[in-house]
Amino acid sequence: MKIALITENSQAAKNAIIHEALTDVAEPLGHQVFNYGMYSAEDAASLTYVMNGLLTGILLNSGAADFVVTGCGTGMGSMLACNAMPGVFCGLVIDPTDAFLFGQINDGNAISMPYAKGFGWAAELNLRDVYGKLFDGERGLGYPRERAEIMRTNRGILKDLKAASCQDMLTVLKTVDQDLLKAAIAGERFAEYFYANASDQEMAAYLKGITG
């Protein structure tokens, strides 16, 4: 699985801690991690939580990523922005129990974490435990197991509902504020990671066109 990490500007100073915890857990399990930044509070390209959502939509809908790990101070803003995008199902995850239940019941493709609330001693241990519950083993099995079938059915209904209520991602890219879009993909490693992994060539061509 290709996992993208996106860090918003208010929490950019924590990117290295988050990235280390994520890679230490995910890579031994056979997953790839792509750090889209922000890498520090001094980055030239600054991501707001709204841009986190837009970038998440781009990465997941293009096939450049299979799962996105993002967040902000409370985790709420990034979650809302992510869920505004077509094809994105983002959960607010605070602890390993949240991660386990989200993976087994909702089986979404993105999480948002609060990096300003409760991020004190042993915060990196909580991150590792969260990522372990998310990425180790099979997802979507249901919990409790006897409700697995109804949970699977509800996930399909939600997916259909989202498809009916949202425009496709290419239309979003063409109609969203273009300055906002350019800012969301202005990270120093976006082009390196995105164009090598995206499978949707129409989306890739459009983004190349607006960035010259």
Q: Which tokens sit at 80?
A: 């809302």
| Predicted local confidence at residue 199, as pLDDT | 98
The domain spanning residue 133 has which CATH number? 3.40.1400.10
Closest residue by Cα to residue 154 from 65, 81, 89, 85: 89
Rounded CA-CA distance 144/148 in Å is 7
* pLDDT at res. 157: 96
The total number of structural domains in the chain stands at 1
What are the contacts of 190-199 at 24+ separation with CB within 8 A? Answer: 190/36, 193/4, 193/34, 193/36, 193/64, 194/58, 194/59, 194/62, 194/64, 197/2, 197/34, 197/63, 197/64, 197/65, 198/62, 198/63, 198/64, 199/62, 199/63, 199/64
**Angstrom distance (rounded) from CA 61 to CA 82:** 12
Residue 119 dihedral angles phi and psi, to the nearest 5°: -95, 70
DSSP helix/strand/coil, 87: coil
pLDDT tens-digit map of 176-201: 999 999 999 999 999 999 999 999 99
Nearest C-alpha neighbor of 70 from the set 52, 85, 83: 52
What is the rounded average pLDDT for all residues in the chain? 97
Task: Please give the residue range of the domain that contains residue 26.
Answer: 2-211
The reported pLDDT for the residue numbered 212 is 80
User: Which token pair is 136?
Assistant: 């180790």
Paired tokens of 119: 């991020």
Structure tokens at 50: 């709204």
- What would the DSSP string read from start to end of 157-173? HHHHHHHHHS--HHHHH
Please tell me the pTM assigned to this model: 0.96
Residues of the chain falling short of pLDDT 50: none
Q: What is the pLDDT of residue 206?
A: 98
Q: Are 18 and 36 in contact (CB under 8 A)?
A: no
Phi and psi dihedrals of 2, rounded to 5? Answer: -95, 115
Closest by Cα among 40, 46, 26 to 130:
26
Q: Is the peptide bond before 38 cis (omega within 30 degrees of 0)?
A: yes
